[in-house]
Amino acid sequence: MLPLSSHPAHPPGECPLLQVQNLTKVYPSGTVALKDVSFDVDDREFLVVIGLSGSGKSTLLRCINRLIEPTSGRVLWDGQDITAAAPAELRSIRRQIGMVFQQFNLVRRSSVLTNVLSGRLGYANPWLSLIGLWPPTERERAMRALERVGIADKVNERADALSGGQQQRVGVARALMQEPRLLLADEPIASLDPVLAHSILQYLEQLNKKDGITVICSLHFLDLVHRYATRVIGLKDGIKVFEGLPQEIDRKRFKEVYGEEAQEVRAASLEAA
Amino acid sequence: MKPTPPARRSRLVAVILSTIIPGLGQGWLGEWPRALGVFLATVTALGATLWYGKPGWLVIPAALWVWNVFDCLRLPRGAPLWLATLLWLGMAYGIGWQATEINPRAFIENSERARSVFRPMLEPDFFRLRTEVRQGWVEVEVPCSSAPPRAEHTVEAVTVRVSPDCASLNEALIVTVEGLWPNEPTQVFWSTPIGDIKLVGGQYNAMLLVTSDEAGKITALVRVPPSAQDAMPDPTLPLKHRVYVEQERKIGGIEISRNGGYILQGIYETLALALLTTTLGAVLALPLSFPAARNLMSGHAVTFFIYLVIRTILNILRSIEALIMAIIFVVIVGLGPFAGMLALTVHTVAALAKLYSEVVEGIDPGPIEAVRATGATWLQVVRFAVIPQIVPLFTALTIYRWDINVRMSTIIGFVGGGGIGYFLWQWLVLNDYRAVSSCFIAIAVVVLTLDTFSARVRERLG
Ligand SMILES: Nc1ncnc2c1ncn2[C@@H]1O[C@H](COP(=O)(O)OP(=O)(O)OP(=O)(O)O)[C@@H](O)[C@H]1O
Ligand SMILES: [Mg+2]
């Protein structure tokens, strides 16, 4: 294991924003996707999770907001146990945690506006939202979120009429509607070309730095880890094999995470962008 | 150690075996797949020829038999396979041709009938030129009573007078008419007390036509038709017959003919029937489509069993032709549109439930996950992530089904299901090929319109 010296210390008595304790997930098929994973996340951190395909990154992120039920272990949100929360409690925790996906996960046939507004469902009046009625203030909020990611002009387009980069920006705007304290981003750029990848990550960085939103983001490219992360966790076969600052992760550490046989994944074009 | 190589076995014995039972020799020499093929080919050829009683075709099984012996003789290379294949296919094709009684000569031999069918079809009976009619009539006693009433009668402007006031069969009458349109051809005909129309022109075989004069008058000689008292129980009893005069002139423009009106009515009924069955079918298919979706039901053994049962029932129902179902329902609920409606509805439920469930199976779980992550309730997830994914496709499929149902209900009308098909059936029976062809045209127009419309809508929704 690695030295924990790099782990940011927090003042005594104040608990971290998120605590993941001994998290284990075994799928019904028998696959052990996470094995006894523990770490803390402080407010305003930009935590990057790296690991090979199949190492359990998506499973980890989804266990945090319980889109996937963990097999054992606990996840504490502001000291409150998410894993033991009743449905209503869980929903009110979820609305504070935005999520951005690799495949964008937009409703392709719905308009951009409807997709963005759906990010507000956790706050909306349940009955009015069911008939698709949104107060003007929420529509304005949606417009502001779209302006923030620079695609306000696409508001009435169908989601599938947009390019990949634009769709992911809609995804970010949808998460913004939640006014989240934490943003989970599961390989948000894996389906995008390098230039677009940077622009999406810059939005996340801006949210992190300006708005003070904590970010947990899984990534593939080491270069990007160095550029954006404030702290890094490495997963391998569901086990946490690295935790530390981005500068601590060199070729050697990288091989630990990605396996001896792996070549370093470099995206030289990213540096140019 | 290998077992005795089949090649060592006696070729002669093999040939004898094959001569007794085709393929046996090949089998004895170790070529089992070949043996089975040869056996089946010969037996099916022989069986088909005997079953359909075509002794001439026995040539082929015989040839296959010979081929089989030859094949056995030449093993391991064998006789050319293509020859056997060709022989067998020749048998299948030839007997098939005769069994389905394909007879192209029938077209030519019955050219007279073909013409009597197709000629009227070239003049579909849907529109006619607009005309107006002026008509008058008068009653005449046949035979005379002791005091016949005066034979004069006025309808609107038209006054018809016959003298004498009564007559017996074949006797002459003078018909004078006033108040007709001037210079127009006027039809004169006879109507018996039971309403039979009798012609009085020529040898009682043509319409009597008289042109009116400047003043709108005609005078005509009419003989009482010899058949005027046919079917009368007592020919000595004086009864009131009528003499009609009728003018018809074109007033410009066209209007829908009587059959055209029936066609419109039939088309309307058909569209309504199709709409009704589609709506009803869709409503019933909706709740069935979810338990028929594999992705929702494969989680648990019990749910998977339910899925299998529902899918099987739907598949069986779908494979029964709607027309046959209609006939079955006719037996149960009697002749009429209701039987057709039931059959179409059942068929629609089965077809739509399957199609809907395929939509549900193809649903993208991504948006569901994303909306769940926002803290939405279950209902909100359904409303914002599930419904937008399925509703456009459900709608498109339903419209497509309506399209199909319009076509199907045309056919189902044949068994008394109502709508245009029922009229079509009657006109076919009555040999009214003008009406039949207008029916065809009307159906084609409706189906093409609906086709285009539903394709458009589906394109927009898809
Ligand atoms: N629904 C599931 N059922 C069974 N096994 C699963 C399921 N989802 C993931 N797994 C397995 O769990 C392991 C971890 O998967 P996960 O998707 O979390 O990895 P990942 O790091 O996100 O990979 P990738 O980079 O390919 O997205 C893999 O071995 C995967 O096959
Ligand atoms: Mg993943």
CA dihedral in degrees (B102, B108, B113, B119; nearest 10)? 110
Work out whether the CA dihedral A259, A231, A174, A66 comes out positive or negative.
Answer: positive
Assign B6 a pLDDT band (cuts: 50, 70, 90): low
Q: Is residue B120 part of a domain?
A: no
Q: Which residues of B touch A119 (CB under 8 A)?
A: 374
The arithmetic mean of pLDDT across residues B407-412, rounded, is 84
CA dihedral in degrees (B225, B231, B233, B237; nearest 10)? -20
The arithmetic mean of pLDDT across residues A82-94, rounded, is 94
Quick one: pLDDT at residue B115?
84
Shared-domain flag, residues B234 and B284: no
Let me know the angle formed at the C-alpha of B399 by B393 and B403, rounded to the nearest 5 degrees: 140
Distances (CA, A) of A68 to A54, A118, A132, A215: 16, 21, 28, 19
Q: Is residue B53 part of a domain?
A: yes
Shared-domain flag, residues B175 and B232: yes
Ligand 2 ion local residues (Cβ < 5 A): A 58
Quick one: pLDDT at residue B1?
40
The arithmetic mean of pLDDT across residues B337-363, rounded, is 91
Closest CA to B152 of B167, B163, B168: B163
* Burial class for B406, CB neighbours closer than 10 Å (0-12, 13-18, 19+): buried
* B73-115 per-position pLDDT tens digit: 887 788 888 898 998 888 888 888 877 777 777 777 778 888 8
- Biggest CA–CA distance in chain B, Å, is 127
Q: Residue B311 and residue A38: Cα distance in Å, rounded?
A: 46
Closest CA to B410 of B457, B342, B339, B340: B340
Quick one: pLDDT at residue B438?
92
Query: Which residue pairs, CB below 8 angstroms and at least 24 apart, start in B450-459?
Result: B450/B402, B450/B403, B450/B406, B451/B403, B453/B399, B454/B399, B454/B400, B454/B402, B454/B403, B457/B395, B457/B396, B457/B399, B458/B396, B458/B399, B458/B400
**Which residue has a Cα nearest atom 26 of ligand 1?**
A53
The arithmetic mean of pLDDT across residues B289-298, rounded, is 83
Distances (CA, A) of A219 to A68, A136, A236: 20, 37, 14
Closest CA to A19 of A79, A95, A97: A79
Over 60: is that where the pLDDT of A13 sits? Answer: no
Quick one: pLDDT at residue A265?
46
Q: Residue B362 and residue B160: Cα distance in Å, rounded?
A: 80
Shared-domain flag, residues B314 and B382: yes
- Contact pairs from chain A to chain B, CB under 8 Å: 87
Atom of ligand 1 nearest to the CA of A29: 4
Over 70: is that where the pLDDT of B338 sits? Answer: yes
* B47-57 per-position pLDDT tens digit: 888 888 777 88
Q: Residue A185 and residue B391: Cα distance in Å, rounded?
A: 30
Quick one: pLDDT at residue A270?
39
Of B53, B79, B99, the position where a domain reaches its end is: B99
Quick one: pLDDT at residue A33?
96
Q: Is residue B118 part of a domain?
A: no
Is A1-8+15-96+183-273 in CATH node 3.40.50.300? yes
Q: Is residue B27 part of a domain?
A: yes
Q: Is residue B374 part of a domain?
A: yes
CATH number at residue B293: 1.10.3720.10
CA dihedral in degrees (B29, B34, B38, B41; nearest 10)? 160
Q: Is residue B440 part of a domain?
A: yes
* B8-29 per-position pLDDT tens digit: 678 888 888 888 989 888 888 8
Please tell me what DSSP assigns to residue B166. Answer: B
CA-nearest residue to B460 within chain A is: A109
CA-nearest residue to A90 within chain B is: B375
Q: Is residue B111 part of a domain?
A: no
Q: Decide if B447 touches A, using CB distance below 8 A.
A: no
Q: How many domains does chain B have?
A: 3
Mutate to test the pocket of ligand 1, among A57, A68, A100, A235 (most ligand atoms within 8 A of CB): A57
Shared-domain flag, residues B300 and B199: no
Quick one: pLDDT at residue B109?
79
Tell me if the pTM is above 0.90. no
Across chain A, mean pLDDT equals 87
The arithmetic mean of pLDDT across residues A238-265, rounded, is 74
Please tell me what DSSP assigns to residue B291. Answer: T
Q: Which residues of A touch B371 (CB under 8 A)?
A: 118, 121
| Residue A260 vs residue B219, higher pLDDT | B219
Length of chain B as a residue count: 462
Quick one: pLDDT at residue A12?
53
Ligand 1 pocket residue status of A54, Cβ below 6 Å: yes
Assign A272 a pLDDT band (cuts: 50, 70, 90): very low
The arithmetic mean of pLDDT across residues A206-234, rounded, is 90
| Residue B299 vs residue B444, higher pLDDT | B444
Over 60: is that where the pLDDT of A267 sits? Answer: no
Over 90: is that where the pLDDT of B326 sits? Answer: no
Quick one: pLDDT at residue B225?
92
Quick one: pLDDT at residue B5?
52
Shared-domain flag, residues B294 and B316: yes
Quick one: pLDDT at residue B284?
95
The rounded Å distance from CA A38 to ligand 1 centre is: 19
Quick one: pLDDT at residue A260?
57
Q: Domain ranges in chain A?
A: 1-8+15-96+183-273, 112-179
Candidate from A83-97, A131-145, A186-200, B290-304 with smallest mean pLDDT: B290-304
The label of the residue with tokens 């419309």 reads B453
Quick one: pLDDT at residue B242?
93
The rounded Å distance from CA A190 to ligand 1 centre is: 15
CA-nearest residue to B382 within chain A is: A130
Q: Which residues of A touch B393 (CB under 8 A)?
A: none
Quick one: pLDDT at residue B462?
65
Quick one: pLDDT at residue B81?
87
Shared-domain flag, residues B14 and B93: yes
Shared-domain flag, residues B298 and B251: no
CA-nearest residue to A171 within chain B is: B370
**To which H or E segment does residue A55 belong?**
none
Q: A109: how many CB neighbours lie within 10 A of its CB?
A: 18
| Residue A115 vs residue B418, higher pLDDT | A115
Q: Residue B165 and residue A137: Cα distance in Å, rounded?
A: 96
Across chain B, mean pLDDT equals 87
Q: What is the ipTM, given to two decimal places?
A: 0.90
Quick one: pLDDT at residue A259?
65
SS3 of residue A172 by DSSP? helix
The arithmetic mean of pLDDT across residues A99-106, rounded, is 96
| Residue B316 vs residue A269, higher pLDDT | B316
Quick one: pLDDT at residue B3?
47
Quick one: pLDDT at residue B7?
54
The rounded Å distance from CA A215 to ligand 2 centre is: 17
**Which residue has a Cα nearest atom 29 of ligand 1?**
A54
Shared-domain flag, residues B328 and B425: yes
**Across the interface, which of B366, B369, B380 has its CB nearest the CB of A126?**
B380
**Which residue has a Cα nearest atom 17 of ligand 1?**
A58
Q: A257: how many CB neighbours lie within 10 A of its CB?
A: 20
Backbone angles phi, psi at B249, to 5 degrees: -135, 150
Q: Residue A128 and residue A133: Cα distance in Å, rounded?
A: 5
Assign B182 a pLDDT band (cuts: 50, 70, 90): very high
* Sheet hosting strand A182-186, strand order edge to edge: A97-100, A182-186, A214-219, A46-51, A231-236, A239-244
Q: Which domain holds residue B17?
A: 6-99
Q: Is residue B105 part of a domain?
A: no
Q: Give the tokens for residue B409.
A: 């209900």
CATH number at residue B165: 2.60.40
